[in-house]
Structure 1
Amino acid sequence: MAGTADATAEPPAPSLVHTADPDQARLDAAADAFRMLSDATRLHILWILADGEADVTTLTEACGASRTAVSQHLAKLRFTGLVDTRREGRRIIYRVRDGHLSRLVREGLNLADHIVTGEPPHS
């Protein structure tokens, strides 16, 4: 029947490029994400998680922050939807929720490397 959605149709595949002009909702969502990235410890946690899953103990050792601080940052990242969790026995395993965020974190730290080392910019 015309105009009826096919119940067996696959949902659209996620895309790497989104061409919609930024409306207020998108600008607000991006600003919220950047706020979460504005803390060095959270940024370090996300950089580690961009390479794969980790638990609190692993993140604490890698970040050099206290377990309490790492746990609090993870709670914020989870609450804002930037990280997901899964249970493995008694451990909670964290992962970055979206590849866009992983790429954003890596690019931010690539930019920082240029700033710190004085390497010339490129396009």
Structure 2
Amino acid sequence: MADHAHPVDPNAVSRARDRIPAPAEAGRVTSVLTLIADPTRMRLLFALDAAEELCVGDLALALDASEDAVGYGLRMLRTAGLVTRRKDGRMVFYRLAQGFPEPLRQHCLLQLAALSNVSHSET
């Protein structure tokens, strides 16, 4: 419990409490953010957003990364439900999961990157 028992602005405290996610929801969100905080996994998401569906080899070429690193990143993203796969004979193609939120891809992630650049330049 906080040491500050009486709020300076009770309305502001109430508004803040109404917007704060429950601990379980906050845990799920931070788990996903932690997962995509890896540069390879982040780049995989953007590559799959741009090309819709790619195999591991093509993703490795696009990212200029090893197939092992790409495969591991895809496995992590698939386990989290962010990426799905489709087999065509011996080939396996990956794509973003159907419910992957487009606003997260198109706006939030790029804005976070831009904000990170601003905060680094201010220090």
Q: TM-score per shorter chain, which class?
A: 0.5 to 0.7
Quick check: 1:43–1:105 contact (8 Å CA) kept in 2? no
> Normalised by the size of structure 2, how large is the TM-score?
0.68
How far has the Cα of 1:85 moved from its partner? 0.9
How far has the Cα of 1:77 moved from its partner? 0.9
Gaps of 5+ in 2: 1-18, 119-123
Alpha-carbon distance in 1 for matches of 2:31, 2:47: 21
How far has the Cα of 1:29 moved from its partner? 1.1
1:38 match: 37
1:91 match: 91
- What CA deviation, in whole Å up to 9, does each residue of 1:73-109 have, x standing for no partner? 1111111211111111211111111331x43233213
How far has the Cα of 1:56 moved from its partner? 0.4
What percentage of residue pairs aligned between the two structures are identical? 31
The amino acid across from 1:32 in the alignment is S
- What CA deviation, in whole Å up to 9, does each residue of 1:55-82 have, x standing for no partner? 1011000000101111111111111211
Alpha-carbon distance in 1 for matches of 2:54, 2:113: 24
Q: What does 1:37-116 correspond to in 2, within 5 Å?
A: 37-51=36-50, 52-97=52-97, 98-100=99-101, 102-107=102-107, 108-113=109-114
Of Structure 1 and Structure 2, which has the larger fraction of its residues in helix?
2
Let me know the Cα RMSD of the aligned residues: 2.4
Q: Work out which structure has the larger RCO, using CA pairs closer than 8 Å and 6 or more positions apart in sequence.
A: 1
1:92 partner SS:
strand
Quick check: 2:85–2:95 contact (8 Å CA) kept in 1? yes
The amino acid across from 1:40 in the alignment is P
- 1:48–1:110 distance in 2 versus 1, CA, 3 Å: farther
> Normalised by the size of structure 1, how large is the TM-score?
0.68
- What CA deviation, in whole Å up to 9, does each residue of 1:19-48 have, x standing for no partner? x96222221111111011111111000001
